[in-house]
């Protein structure tokens, strides 16, 4: 036994050494990974998770300011019941936003898809046109757009006035839908302006489809029409989904279409409502948006095609 | 004999033969694109045209696009009303800091998500996607309180602070963009560098970052523009102590009315407002013009998405 021990040890030693070395290697990589992520993780806790839970906590309280600072009192559902049963603007505003976005989101996605296909064709000057269509990304989000579209109303389509479209719509649609349709038409150019990023996403998506697929289709005698429906569209479904999600998230931060942010900031300073109620509004809003996203994701499982799977 | 051949040639010339689009097809594409461009740029042209009009031209229905004389007084008033140099310096300070921090720290996080194996990655990535979805409306109040406690309100840190940690305006989106880009780079590069004995950060700094210029540029531009345009956060967090251009554009009316008294008609201010709008977007317009080439190509190369 005594004889075999050093031998055994000799056999085990390299093995154990190797394993230990392997663990530290992985461990070191993992530690490195956390180090890379460290700033982001700290930020996640400080600027995302903590505010999220804190606003939820506040939304169930009445927040008052006294000499000593902020006081949270009267825990309960007060803020939420007030939002749904007493505040006569808030829920209506959310529903109005949802109703508008039912029109706006498909318009943006279809328009961006159409323009992306055109811009992806090879023709001289396409970079010039791409420059034009990305231009609104620059002022697409800011205060300038409020000036141009909100105050000066330069975003109207002139043919609407010329052909009395408004009267036609109010006469032929039920009132519930005539209003969102009209408001969508009135800010049509504005809506087109919000499709800059979506065009970018679609173009980069179109570039992922290999040329060989199109060549094969051509050899098999497929017409461009068939190629579009059988190759381009299925390959683009993941990008359509992505754009739907992006547009929904984006749509819910636009000040012109969406008045909620203003309401929240306004309510922050109202003494009888305050931070608690404004937080509750933020959360109700989040839940509505999340529900819409979930709905889109659920429906998308039926039509999004993933290459490689199935 | 030649009738059929001519017909075919004409058809190829007009409609194309699949490889090359023909004249007719091309004409159609140009027509459609031009048409959409006109609708698209109409508000922009409106802004340019209005800013050179004087009060008489503005209400004259016979003048649509080209005013009788270029009225430069509007620009001067807008310049004063915006307190342009002060506001511009505030804007540039906040925007450049925000964009640089976001590029630096979002790319770090994006690299970790794309290339480094560590336990809990799936959960953290889920949290990343989740933080992309959270509307700023939901967390703006606690952030306001937090920044108040940190003493950040009214300083550039109120906007830039989260960017130092790879968050801030659309920070989650930028991390995702970087992740997608790093995923497309070939793995062999890093492995070769690792075999040569380079540590993780060295690989990142020396091998990955130089290859990532398109992604860095795209994120920098987006970050620049979105910081430039931000009003909601700036309005609340800066408390008017700093006035970037997006904020002073909001207060333009008050400044001008204060200067000129209330008797001035609101409608007449429109020319000045358009001039002010132009002044506000002029710097990003230049940046975009310079970077456009790389931007347009860079977006294609980033692969922005899976």
Compute the average pLDDT of residues B230-251.
80
Q: Closest to A143 (Cβ–Cβ): which among B40, B204, B249?
A: B249
A53/A133 same-domain check: no
A52/A198 same-domain check: no
Would you list the DSSP string of B261-304?
-TTS-TTTHHHHHHHHHHHHHHHHHHHHHHHHHHHHHHHHHH--
Chain A interface test: which of B22, B36, B121, B139 (most A C-beta within 10 Å) = B139
CATH number assigned to the domain comprising residue A278: 1.10.3720.10
Confidence of residue B306 (pLDDT cuts 50, 70, 90): very low
- pLDDT confidence of residue B13: 65
pLDDT in tens, chain A (310 residues): 445 555 555 455 444 444 555 567 777 788 888 888 889 999 999 899 999 998 888 888 887 776 666 777 777 787 888 878 887 788 888 888 888 788 888 888 998 898 888 888 877 777 788 778 877 777 655 666 666 665 555 555 555 656 666 667 667 767 667 777 777 776 777 777 788 888 888 887 887 777 788 888 888 888 878 888 888 888 888 888 888 888 888 876 665 666 777 777 777 777 667 788 888 888 888 888 888 888 888 888 887 776 544 3
In chain A, the number of structural domains is: 2
Cβ contact (<8 Å) for A130 and B200? no
Whether B135 shows a pLDDT value over 60: the answer reads yes
A213/A274 same-domain check: yes
Cβ under 8 Å to B: A residues 244-303: 249, 252-253, 255, 260-261, 264-265, 268, 275, 278-279, 281-283, 285-286, 289-290, 293
- pLDDT confidence of residue B181: 81
Say how many CB pairs under 8 Å bridge A and B: 275
User: What confidence tens digit (pLDDT) does each residue in B59-103 have?
Assistant: 676 767 777 777 777 788 888 777 888 889 988 999 999 999 999
A52/A91 same-domain check: no
Cβ contact (<8 Å) for A286 and B305? no
A105/A212 same-domain check: yes
- pLDDT confidence of residue B102: 92
A207/A255 same-domain check: yes
Cβ under 8 Å to B: A residues 173-192: 189, 192
A219/A294 same-domain check: yes
Q: Which CATH fold would you assign to the domain B80-302?
A: MetI-like fold (1.10.3720)
- pLDDT confidence of residue B103: 92
In a domain, A131, yes or no: yes
> Nearest-CA residue of chain A relative to B167?
A43
Whether B119 shows a pLDDT value over 80: the answer reads yes
A53/A96 same-domain check: no
A55/A84 same-domain check: no
Question: Which residue in A187, A188, A189, A169 sits closest to A179, CA to CA?
Answer: A169
A196 touches chain B (CB under 8 A): no
Cβ contact (<8 Å) for B116 and A33? yes
Give B-chain residues touching A282 at CB under 8 angstroms: 135, 137-141
Domain assignment of residue A107, given as a range: 78-140+194-303
Average pLDDT score over chain B? 79
* Alpha-carbon distance values, B69 to A84, A257, A309, B271, B278 (Å): 56, 36, 64, 14, 18
Please tell me the distance in Å from A179's CA to the nearest CA on chain B: 23
Whether B303 shows a pLDDT value over 70: the answer reads no
> Nearest-CA residue of chain B relative to A280?
B138
In a domain, A308, yes or no: no
In a domain, A202, yes or no: yes
A34/A135 same-domain check: no
Whether B49 shows a pLDDT value over 60: the answer reads yes
User: What confidence tens digit (pLDDT) does each residue in B243-289 have?
Assistant: 888 788 777 766 766 655 454 444 446 777 788 888 888 888 888 88
A83/A199 same-domain check: yes
Q: What is the pTM of this model?
A: 0.81
A22/A92 same-domain check: no
- pLDDT confidence of residue B295: 66
Cβ contact (<8 Å) for A129 and B37? yes
Q: Closest to A203 (Cβ–Cβ): which among B32, B140, B300?
A: B300
In a domain, A186, yes or no: no
> Nearest-CA residue of chain A relative to B245?
A143
Domain boundary, last residue among A59, A86, A103? A59
Q: Where in chain B is the domain with CATH 1.10.3720.10?
A: 80-302
């Amino acid at each position: 036994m005594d004889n075999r021990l050093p031998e055994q040890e000799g056999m085990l030693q390299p093995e154990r050494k190797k394993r230990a070395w392997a663990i530290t290697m992985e461990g070191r990589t993992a530690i490195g990974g956390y180090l890379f992520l460290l700033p982001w993780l700290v930020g996640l806790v400080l600027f995302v998770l903590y505010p999220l839970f804190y606003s939820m906590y506040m939304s169930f309280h009445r927040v008052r300011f006294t000499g000593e600072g902020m006081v949270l009192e009267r825990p309960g559902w007060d803020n939420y019941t007030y939002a749904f049963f007493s505040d006569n603007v808030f829920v209506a505003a959310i529903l109005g936003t949802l109703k508008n976005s039912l029109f706006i989101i498909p318009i943006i996605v279809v328009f961006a898809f159409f323009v992306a296909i055109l811009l992806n064709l090879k023709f001289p000057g396409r970079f010039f046109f791409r420059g034009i269509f990305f231009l609104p990304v620059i002022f697409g989000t800011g205060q300038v757009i409020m000036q141009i579209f909100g105050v000066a109303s330069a975003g109207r389509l002139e043919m609407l006035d010329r052909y009395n479209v408004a009267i036609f719509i109010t006469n032929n649609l039920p009132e519930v839908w005539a209003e969102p349709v009209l408001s969508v038409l009135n800010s049509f150019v504005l809506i087109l302006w919000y499709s800059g990023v979506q065009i970018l996403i679609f173009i980069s998506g179109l570039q992922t489809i290999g040329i060989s697929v199109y060549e094969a289709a051509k050899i098999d005698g497929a017409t461009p029409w068939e190629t579009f429906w059988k190759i381009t569209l299925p390959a683009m479904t993941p990008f359509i989904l992505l754009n739907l999600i992006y547009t929904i998230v984006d749509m819910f931060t636009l000040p012109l279409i969406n008045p909620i942010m203003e309401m929240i900031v306004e309510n922050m300073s109202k003494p009888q409502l305050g931070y608690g109620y404004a937080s509750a509004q933020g959360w109700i809003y989040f839940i509505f948006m999340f529900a819409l996203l979930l709905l889109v994701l659920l429906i998308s499982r039926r039509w999004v095609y993933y290459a490689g799977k199935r | 004999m030649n009738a059929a051949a001519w017909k075919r040639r004409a058809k190829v010339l007009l409609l194309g033969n699949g490889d090359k689009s023909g004249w007719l097809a091309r004409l159609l594409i140009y027509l459609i694109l031009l048409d959409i461009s006109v609708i698209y740029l109409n508000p922009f042209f409106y802004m340019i045209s209005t800013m050179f009009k004087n009060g008489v031209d503005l209400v004259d229905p016979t003048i649509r696009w080209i005013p009788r004389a270029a009225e430069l007084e509007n620009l001067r008033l807008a310049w004063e009303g915006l307190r342009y140099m002060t506001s511009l310096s505030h804007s540039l300070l906040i925007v450049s800091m925000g964009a640089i921090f976001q590029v630096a720290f979002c790319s770090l996080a994006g690299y970790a998500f794309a290339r480094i194996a560590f336990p809990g990655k799936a959960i953290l990535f889920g949290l990343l996607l989740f933080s992309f979805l959270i509307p700023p409306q939901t967390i703006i109040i606690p952030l306001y309180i937090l920044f108040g406690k940190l003493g950040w309100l009214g300083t550039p840190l109120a906007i830039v602070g989260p960017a130092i940690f790879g968050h801030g305006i659309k920070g989650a989106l930028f991390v995702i963009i970087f992740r997608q880009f790093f995923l497309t780079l070939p793995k062999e590069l890093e492995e070769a560098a690792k075999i040569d004995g380079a540590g993780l950060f060295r690989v990142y700094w020396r091998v990955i970052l130089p290859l990532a210029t398109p992604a860095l540029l795209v994120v920098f531009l987006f970050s620049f523009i979105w910081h430039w345009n931000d009003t909601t956060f700036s309005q609340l967090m800066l408390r008017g102590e700093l006035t970037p251009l997006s904020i002073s554009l909001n207060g333009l009316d008050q400044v001008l009315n204060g200067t000129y008294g209330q008797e001035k008609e609101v409608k007449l201010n429109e020319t000045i407002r358009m001039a002010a709008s132009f002044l506000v977007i002029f710097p990003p317009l230049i940046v975009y013009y310079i970077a456009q080439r790389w931007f347009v190509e860079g977006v294609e190369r980033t692969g922005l998405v899976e």
